[in-house]
Chains A and B, each alone.
Chain A
């Protein structure tokens, strides 16, 4: 069974701080890796999907990198804002199925 692990489980940062989280996965059987942001009372929202080793994606202050050979992805948030507070999920996909990590819960303090 594929295991996708995320760390840390939760963290609090001050407004303006930059932060990053990790998603680890087995490096074999890789097809694509997804990052989602899940705000309270809303649907999970897709941030990035990456497929190639060395992929880097950026959306505003948020960026992500992928290393398929060593089995990890990093999500970075530059200059965190209170509206960044959410749970960040990563997921590994195969043919149909998505395997989700347990998420990193971020709280940005004003």
Chain B
């Protein structure tokens, strides 16, 4: 059974804090993705990575960065959290043909 895990299901952070969201996959897939989901807007791609140490901006990268030091781990970093980054964050791993999602992290920035 393929598995994508995320470090936290729920997270509450203060404005200005540096936030790390961790994602680990056990499928040996090259590609990993970070999305956020907001009501009425669907899943929007923040960043993706198609290889270790490689990263590409998605549709909404502003305010975020990522790190992929190992194939199985893809981290999303909020350098200075803001209230408009309150959202559900989903990580996925996969190929061009299929994606497997983690359970999501609901982040609240107060």
B100 surroundings in chain A (CB, below 8 A): 43, 46
Cβ of B103 under 8 Å from chain A: yes
Count of inter-chain pairs, beta carbons less than 8 A? 52
Cβ of A44 under 8 Å from chain B: yes
Interface string of A11-41 (1 = CB under 8 A from B): 0000000000000000000011010000001
Chain A residues contacting B44 (CB-CB under 8 Å) are 100
Please give the distance in Å from B66's CB to the nearest CB on chain A: 14
Which residues of A are found within 8 Å of B99, using beta-carbon distances?
Answer: 34, 46, 98
- Alpha-carbon distance between A41 and B41 when the two chains are bound, in angstroms: 18
How many A residues, CB 8 Å from partner?
A: 24
Interfacial chain A residues near B4, Cβ < 8 Å: 43
Taking CB as reference atom, which chain B residue is nearest A93?
B96
A25 to B69, CA, bound (A): 35
Q: Give the Cβ gap from A55 to chain B, nearest Cβ, in Å.
A: 14
What are the residues of chain B within 8 A of A100 when measuring CB–CB? 35, 42-44
What B residues does A44 contact at CB under 8 A?
90, 101
Binding site for B on A (CB under 8 A): 1, 9, 31-32, 34, 41-46, 49, 89, 91, 93, 95-103
What are the nearest 6 A-B pairs in CB distance? A102-B42, A100-B43, A43-B101, A44-B101, A100-B42, A43-B103
